[in-house]
Amino acid sequence: MNKKLFLLSSVATIAIAPHTYGQNVLHTINETQTITNGVELSTDQHLTAKGWLDIFTLKIDLANDNVTLKPIDATTLATKQTVSDMVMLNGAIAAVNGDFFDLSNDLTPVAFGNMISDGILMQASNSAKFGTGAVNNMASLIINNDRNISFDMFDTTIELYKNGEFMLDAITYNKIPDKIGAPAIFDKFYMGDTKIVRDTHNWVYSTVVNDGRVTQNISCDSIEIPDDGFIIAMSQDYAREYDFPIGSEIELVIHNNSYYQPTPALEDIYFSIGGGGLILKDGQPYTEPTHIVAQQIANPRTVVANTDVPNELLLMVIDGRGSSIGATHEDVTNILLNYGATDAMYLDGGGSSTVVARKSGELKPTLLNSPSDGAERKVMNAIGVFAEQPISEAVYLFADIEKNRTFVDEPISINLIATDVNGNPVIIEPEEVNVLVMGVEGTFENGVFTPYSSGTASFIIEYRGIETTAEAIVSYKPVGLIVEPVSATLTTDSPLPITVYGVDSEGYRIELSPHNVNIIDKAGIIYYEDGCITATTHGITTIDVLHDGMSAQIGIVAGDKIVELESFDTNIPSWGGDTMQVKGEISVERDTKYHGDQAIKMTYTFGKSEHQQVAFATFDHPLLIPNDASHFNLWVYGDNQNDTLKIEVIDSNQDKYYLKLADSLDYQGWKYLSTQLPTEMKMPAQVTTLYTYSHSELEERTTSLIFDHASITRGHRNILYAQDYEFDPIYKQSLDEPTQSQFSINFIGPLDSNSIELNTHARGILMKSLLAHTDKIFLSTNDDGTLDLGNVGMYNQGNYTVTQVGSADVISLNTDNKSLVRTNSEQVSHLKNTLRDSTANHIIIFTKYSPNGEFSDEREAELIHSLLCEYRENTNKNIFVVSYSDEQTQVQVRDGIRYIGLAGVTDDILSSTFLTFKIVGSDIFYTFNTLSQ
């Protein structure tokens, strides 16, 4: 098969490796690419004990003829611009933000230091007169014509001589001071006339110097700048004191001064730009006085450094104030030393920290970091990196395949990238691309391959004698469908994108093309077009998503999702207690309220007792729950009383349900509490009673709670939980008892809920069910002897443990803080080491919170998932993550990793389920069992 193919994208080499820099780095994700010959871009995402730290580094070989470094700016005086705009305006391939500037000066903003490019003075100032720069221990980057790099307190004097006699020092060169008194010099580098100077300084007096002589003096007006001269702009007072008559011979003498080393002549300076404090000198932390902003605060930082490699320059941006934690001065010092820096100084940081670069194979530079202002800040200048060699013929070819797994009739796009000998992007002529596909049948059209048969598709792509390859696995059809989102709230005529995945036999999700998906809405309020659903009117419906004989569902609420039931402005409940020992009252609370005119306060006293005590509020006018409700919600003001809170709901069949709002009122203040309404509940229903209770009290205790603003969440009660086990080949509806050479492992969720008091009968049921034909039982927490499980019972007590059962390793993790790192950061290294050394065929991770949607740090969750996926790809082992914080048992298979959520023991003991694994040699199977008599 020979067809033409053309698309363009980026290519990068991604590696995962450990990295340290002074903090406790737990894991590093590194991406390094050559963006042009002589310039390497590295992105490091360090997971530390304190959080993520993102570092972007441009490593530049200044000795490479392909690379040029230039100061870049907006090319107009007193104008700030984003680094991205500077890069596009000046034609750079990369840049970082440059010098410091006064954020408060919007009228005539200026950079604090000097700028020199190829021996040409772009901007300068006498720091003693200007008031900032070297006089404040702010350094500059200086590169001479031999590309030797140094950092120094670099200053300038700008001297004016008249007829051979020194007159006075100018304050700035090509900078507009906020106030003009002493002379400011302007040549034609940035502007043709002095209009902007006149506009910002009404009474400025200007002297025109052309070819070394004064040709004109003018007050309060704009004037043209001569090609071979400059303008002396000063105040009227200075003009009277220092007279420059027409015809006077004027000489402008500029001296550069350095603190540490001899200063090269202006014509010998290849590049210079101002910055902040020195960080390193000769490979050691700089300890003399220098300008460092917020040394002890972790901020975004931009730094520039050299290394012990001759002519090698590092431009580095450290992200902060967002998902990346930023760096203190000590952190920056350690980071630079770890990256091999010898000498270094700060550039402007904080919200100014910006790095822009053209990635390998891409045509346009893009913003790489996440500026802390939420968008790029406009700055005064930047360090621009340029590729000098012209783009030549393609010598490297890369194929970036959209996905490496698909189904028959599901297309795959292949992005083709070509670069020249210097790594510069080459535009491909599509008619010269040839593609050969082996292993499956299909067609190519406009860079998209559509397979017609299953198998492994091998692509051989040729362009002008250069070849590259790619590969994809094509399955015949999905074994199951997954749709995201599973529920949604829509406003009319506002399209919502949905994503439909097919799951292959190995558990990998593969996105399906919208044109291969059908949507059916029997209610007729939703239509589907181009991968989006749109509501035409208000209502509630369940839409069926269909593909190749399989279906999934999405619950749709069109209109308001949250609907108020009761504000308790008039509906005052009645007080009650289950024994004479329980005392209390119901009162109206007008000071502490959440909504409306008042809330309801329930004050209650529990006496000293070993038994359960209950206080309740009965609604004389029950709260009506409509047909389309999925959750009941209530705002409750707690007082850290640690009591359980429930509601009684009676449905249309007069069946009663006791639903938990809070296992423990372990908080102070208002909190939004919600409980899911059971699938089997017949609607409409009504809330009749609010209960709070305690299992035992050592002393008499009086407390109160306040509740207000009851509402319902509109939605569906039967499609909120994943049931991917339905198409999982190793799931079985039931498992036979293990034989002598086989193993069985049981897992169960929480037993220690405040709302459950296990009596002798319930404990017997649990022990009988869990101990039946099992080798190990893993429980979420130690039940303090509630169950007698002997040496079979294994409790997740908050420490990292590994237990081998047959051909499976069971890893217990502590994620109580919804994070490995924030709970115990050492677990990250323990987990990586366990996976590396494990000889088991199966890995079962047992933990409270799952990285599949329950972690507080999404990036950490994605890292854990990626590590497990990579491990599975390399070992072909079965990997399970069993968590125990779900309200209902569910299974979600994602990229071959099985995430199983357990609900634990519910109030109805006999309806509670536990998870059972059966290990047969190198095979493993699982099922869910219900507790039985």
Taking only the tens place, the pLDDT of each residue in 737-779 is 999 899 999 999 887 555 556 667 777 888 888 898 899 999 9
**Under a CB-based contact definition with an 8 Å cutoff, are residues 125 and 114 in contact?**
yes
Alpha-carbon gap, residue 463 to 448, rounded angstroms: 17
Query: For residue 613, what pLDDT is reported?
Result: 95
The sheet carrying 539-547 orders its strands as 487-490, 550-558, 539-547, 518-520
Least confident among 48-52, 542-546, 590-594, 902-906 = 902-906
Alpha-carbon gap, residue 322 to 292, rounded angstroms: 21
Tracing tokens 């300068």 back to the chain, one arrives at 124
The pair of structure tokens assigned to 268 is 């010998």
Alpha-carbon gap, residue 376 to 317, rounded angstroms: 13
Q: How many CA atoms lie within 13 A of 400 on its CB side?
A: 15
Q: What is the pLDDT averaged over residues 51-69? A: 98
Query: For residue 230, what pLDDT is reported?
Result: 98
23 Cβ neighbours under 8 A, 6+ residues apart: 46, 48, 49, 50, 53, 331, 334
CA angle 69, 75, 79 (to 5 degrees): 120
Alpha-carbon gap, residue 192 to 222, rounded angstroms: 10
**Under a CB-based contact definition with an 8 Å cutoff, are residues 767 and 787 in contact?**
yes
DSSP designation for 246: T
Taking only the tens place, the pLDDT of each residue in 339-378 is 999 999 999 999 999 999 999 999 999 999 999 999 999 9
List the alpha helices (DSSP H) in 175-328.
195-200, 236-241
Among 305, 312, 369, 362, smallest CA distance to 332 is for: 305
DSSP designation for 853: T
Alpha-carbon gap, residue 699 to 442, rounded angstroms: 77
Q: What is the mean pLDDT of the chain?
A: 93
Query: For residue 720, what pLDDT is reported?
Result: 60
Alpha-carbon gap, residue 312 to 60, rounded angstroms: 6
Encode burial over 521-540: b for 16+ CB neighbours within 10 A, e otherwise. beeebbebeebebbbeeebb
The pair of structure tokens assigned to 348 is 């402007």
Percent of the chain with pLDDT over 70: 95
**Under a CB-based contact definition with an 8 Å cutoff, are residues 271 and 146 in contact?**
no
Alpha-carbon gap, residue 711 to 560, rounded angstroms: 12
Residue 10 has pLDDT above 70, yes or no: no
Query: For residue 877, what pLDDT is reported?
Result: 97
The pair of structure tokens assigned to 764 is 């017997």
Query: For residue 786, what pLDDT is reported?
Result: 65
Residue 16 has pLDDT above 60, yes or no: no
Return the SS3 of 649. strand
Among 826, 800, 797, smallest CA distance to 813 is for: 800
Alpha-carbon gap, residue 545 to 824, rounded angstroms: 42
DSSP designation for 425: B
Return the SS3 of 78. coil
At 472, which helix (H) or strand (E)? strand 466-475
139 Cβ neighbours under 8 A, 6+ residues apart: 151, 152, 153, 154, 274, 275, 276, 277, 278, 290, 291, 345
Query: For residue 367, what pLDDT is reported?
Result: 99
Q: Please give the span between the terminal C-alpha atoms of the chain, in angstroms, as a whole number.
A: 65
Query: For residue 7, what pLDDT is reported?
Result: 28
Angle, helices 826-837 vs 858-875, to 10°: value is 10
Alpha-carbon gap, residue 568 to 588, rounded angstroms: 9
Tracing tokens 């790489």 back to the chain, one arrives at 368
Alpha-carbon gap, residue 92 to 70, rounded angstroms: 9
The pair of structure tokens assigned to 23 is 């903090």
Q: What are phi and psi for residue 87, nearest 5 degrees? A: -60, -45
Among 725, 776, 712, 779, smallest CA distance to 752 is for: 779
Alpha-carbon gap, residue 228 to 822, rounded angstroms: 65
Confidence of residue 933 (pLDDT cuts 50, 70, 90): very low
Tracing tokens 């190995």 back to the chain, one arrives at 506
Q: Is the dihedral of CA 582, 586, 587, 590 positive or negative?
A: positive
895 Cβ neighbours under 8 A, 6+ residues apart: 507, 508, 509, 865, 869, 872
User: Helix and strand tally (H, E) in the chain?
Assistant: 9, 67
Encode burial over 801-835: b for 16+ CB neighbours within 10 A, e otherwise. bbeebbbbbbbbbbbbebbbbbbbbebbebbbebb
Q: What CA dihedral angle connects 557, 559, 565 and 569, to 10 degrees?
A: 160
Tally of CB atoms within 10 A around 836? 8
Alpha-carbon gap, residue 858 to 680, rounded angstroms: 34
Query: For residue 263, what pLDDT is reported?
Result: 85
Which pairs count as long-range contacts for 928-933, CB under 8 Å and 24+ apart, including other chains?
Answer: 928/889, 929/746, 929/769, 931/765, 931/766, 931/769, 931/905, 932/765, 932/768, 932/769, 933/765
Domains and CATH numbers, the chain: 59-153+266-389 (no CATH), 155-257 (2.60.120), 396-475 (2.60.40.10), 480-558 (2.60.40.1080), 564-714 (2.60.120.260), 724-930 (3.60.21.10)
**Under a CB-based contact definition with an 8 Å cutoff, are residues 322 and 369 in contact?**
no
The pair of structure tokens assigned to 729 is 């080949």
Strand partners, 603: 585, 704
Confidence of residue 812 (pLDDT cuts 50, 70, 90): very high
Alpha-carbon gap, residue 757 to 657, rounded angstroms: 18
Residue 14 has pLDDT above 70, yes or no: no
Query: For residue 760, what pLDDT is reported?
Result: 73
Tracing tokens 């919502």 back to the chain, one arrives at 496
Query: For residue 766, what pLDDT is reported?
Result: 84
The pair of structure tokens assigned to 622 is 């029950």
Query: For residue 296, what pLDDT is reported?
Result: 96
CA-based radius of gyration for the chain: 36
Taking only the tens place, the pLDDT of each residue in 232-258 is 999 999 999 999 999 999 999 999 999
Q: What are phi and psi for residue 135, nearest 5 degrees? A: -60, -25
Beta-strand pair 776-779/743-748: parallel
Q: What are phi and psi for residue 495, nearest 5 degrees? A: -65, 145
More confident site: 872 or 906:
872
**Under a CB-based contact definition with an 8 Å cutoff, are residues 376 and 369 in contact?**
no
**Under a CB-based contact definition with an 8 Å cutoff, are residues 268 and 119 in contact?**
yes
Residue 3 has pLDDT above 70, yes or no: no
The pair of structure tokens assigned to 474 is 């094509």
Confidence of residue 160 (pLDDT cuts 50, 70, 90): very high
Taking only the tens place, the pLDDT of each residue in 269-312 is 999 999 999 999 999 999 999 999 999 999 999 999 999 999 99
Among 357, 461, 452, 358, smallest CA distance to 401 is for: 461
Q: What is the pLDDT averaged over residues 436-454? A: 94
Alpha-carbon gap, residue 316 to 304, rounded angstroms: 6
Alpha-carbon gap, residue 153 to 858, rounded angstroms: 44
Taking only the tens place, the pLDDT of each residue in 660-686 is 999 899 999 999 999 999 888 999 999
Confidence of residue 22 (pLDDT cuts 50, 70, 90): low
Query: For residue 104, what pLDDT is reported?
Result: 86
Confidence of residue 907 (pLDDT cuts 50, 70, 90): low
At 144, which helix (H) or strand (E)? strand 140-144
**Under a CB-based contact definition with an 8 Å cutoff, are residues 367 and 81 in contact?**
no
- What DSSP string runs through 547-558? ETTEEEEEEEEE
Region of residue 13 (phi > 0: left; psi between -120 and 50: alpha; otherwise: beta): beta
Q: Is the dihedral of CA 701, 706, 711, 713 positive or negative?
A: negative
Amino acid at 791: N
Taking only the tens place, the pLDDT of each residue in 387-444 is 999 999 999 999 999 999 999 999 999 999 999 999 999 999 999 999 999 999 999 8
Whether cis (ω within 30° of 0) applies to the bond prior to 684 is: yes
